[in-house]
Structure 1
């Protein structure tokens, strides 16, 4: 083999070696890229699987017997007779409820204005009357407890019988018997509580009413110790001091409290609702 042939052979071998090295580099890069893609893809799948498989934790059902014990203890510690206070409390998430004298009749005072307003908002929503003609009357009746406005709205329905017959639609548990219809402004805590629950369940239909209830006696009655503009309607007449409302801040619940304690009843209402509010919003 002459010198020229040897030179060509070396060049060919170097070319083959170069091609082999290039192929090795390409294969190595390909494997590395696949490994990276595989690792990244695997991480994404795991995250997605965790997201898909993860189930939201269900909120535990609150034990209302514990709340009942707290409320009863308050009455006992303050020497308040059991018959002097009637209440109804409903957890609007679990729909469990507790009560004290829940089926006893109490003079409702101005708390009856909640269902009275609901009847009129039903008429407005049905197109039977113009809202512009009744809006001020309804607002004054709820926010300022205007009795003249309430009397006009009440008498326009025809009286107690017609009024109570109309509001039985808000409480399927309340029988519209003759005793219920003729007992004028008397309600049980449970009956009024069921009415407020209906209000909560149909908030869109009673939006104006709820807004007015938030402006009703802020810092007093149910809002006395909370100062959160608790949606309520208060009422007082002689020894009867009452309030009914719904908590729209934090855990939702309905509370109706009727008392026969004179003006002392207002502070009792505030204390009892504070116990309820703290229970629903700290026990979870």
Structure 2
């Protein structure tokens, strides 16, 4: 055999050995395994891109707008001599902005909103009827403060009347009589805190944060279109006799709100009907009545920003 023939034979042998080697199968399995690992990574990445925060970042006008909302809230909180917790929710996009949003305050009468919602839920579930008559128990139900029942106490009231009075007039006796349908104030608060907030509180000093209140109002707002009883509560809040705090000359007739007052604790939680409606919950603890004009001022400031600076396209 010539030298060229020997070289040809060796090359032919090497080529045949490579193609029939068992290493070919191993390479194929490695490629398939790598693809399986990478697929979940791609799915997770795309779900993050679809989240609300990246969408906000992609819209420079909204980013600037929310910065102005945040700055307005921050400046207001810094100007108040006392404690403030404040939360804003843009009901068009769901964007929430808070300043001290997890700070707890004595709830005062703001707790009457989730109570009214729980009563509506009980009626719709069939465990209570609107025309059921509840008996006034002086030891359990009597309480001084806001309301109209205290001026002419009757032996019985319908559930519907008590629900309306608790919101429209912020009636404390009506609130306590509604608590009785749960077995008393402690059990009622346990039920509503667990249902709406998935948490517990000190029942002798029931507390809420501005973010808690915003969450409750968000439920009320979103469900009122399909829940006529929630719409009724919303209407009670719009027609309250308390024309103060979030109900200003600018917002009059366009705010559904519920105030709460106890000593230095002065609060208001509401839904404001601008072209792009928003939730605002403000909890304060300061000297004398300082919280009242403070809430009115920050409400008007945020109303102005929401009305004039909201981007035309989101």
Whether these two folds match at TM > 0.5 is yes
1:200 to 221, 234, 239: 221
C-alpha deviation, 1:283, in angstroms:
1.1
Aligned equivalents of 2:189 and 2:102: distance in 1? 17
Matching residue within 145, 154, 158 for 2:183: 158
Could you list the per-position Cα deviations for residues 139-160 of structure 1 after superposition, in whole angstroms to 9, with x for gaps in the alignment?
Answer: 1110111111001111321344
- Cα contact 1:218–1:229 (8 A) shared by 2: no
| Long gaps (5+) in structure 2 | 1-58, 132-157
Residue by residue, what CA displacement relative to the aligned partner does 1:150-201 show, whole Å, maximum 9, x if unpaired? 0111132134443333224654xx4424xx2646421111111101101111
- In structure 2, the partner of 1:98 is 97
Aligned residue for 2:124? 125
In the alignment, the residues of structure 2 paired with residue 278 and residue 166 of structure 1 have an alpha-carbon distance, to the nearest angstrom, of: 38
Deviation sequence 1:48-93 (CA, Å, 0-9, x none): xxxxxxxxxx9x64632211101222344xx414x51111111111
Q: Is the 8 A contact 1:106 1:187 kept in 2?
A: yes
Q: Is 1:143 the equivalent of 2:168?
A: yes
Tell me which residue corresponds to 1:65: 67
* Contact map agreement 1:218 1:224 (CA 8 A) in 2: no
Q: CA deviation at 1:229?
A: 4.4
After superposition, the CA RMSD in angstroms is 2.3
Distance 1:98 1:170, change over 3 A: farther
Residue 216 in 1 paired to residue 240 in 2? yes
Bigger fraction of residues in helix: 1
- Provide the secondary structure at the position in 2 that maps to 1:210: helix
Give the superposition deviation at 1:131: 1.6
Specify the SS of the correspondent of 1:221: coil
C-alpha distance in structure 2 between counterparts of 1:214 and 1:170, whole Å: 24
Shift of the alpha carbon at 1:118? 0.3
- Looking at structure 2, the residues matched to 99 and 198 of structure 1 have their Cα atoms a distance apart, in angstroms, of 18
Work out the CA distance in 2 between the residues paired with 1:107 and 1:85. 12
Question: Structure 1 residues 240 and 168, CA, compared in 2 at 3 Å: closer, same or farther?
Answer: closer
Say which of 256, 260, 268 aligns to 2:285: 260
Contact 1:92 1:253 in 2 (8 A): yes
Deviations 1:184-225 (A, max 9, x none): 421111111101101111114201101100011453111124
Match of 1:239 among 242, 264, 273: 264
Identify the residue that residue 280 of structure 1 maps to in structure 2: 306
Q: State whether residues 274 and 303 of structure 2, in contact with CA within 8 Å, keep that contact through their aligned partners in structure 1.
A: no
Equivalent residue, structure 1, for 2:55: none
Bigger Cα Rg: 1
Gaps of 5+ in 1: 1-57
Q: Is the CA contact (8 Å cut-off) linking 2:80 and 2:294 kept in structure 1?
A: no
Cα distance, 1:126 vs structure 2: 2.0
Q: In structure 2, what is the equivalent of residue 26 of structure 1?
A: none
Q: 1:138 to 1:274 in 2, by over 3 A?
A: same
How many angstroms apart in 2 are the aligned matches of 1:84 and 1:148? Answer: 29
Give the TM-score taking structure 2 as reference length: 0.64
- The structural deviation recorded for 1:278 is 1.5
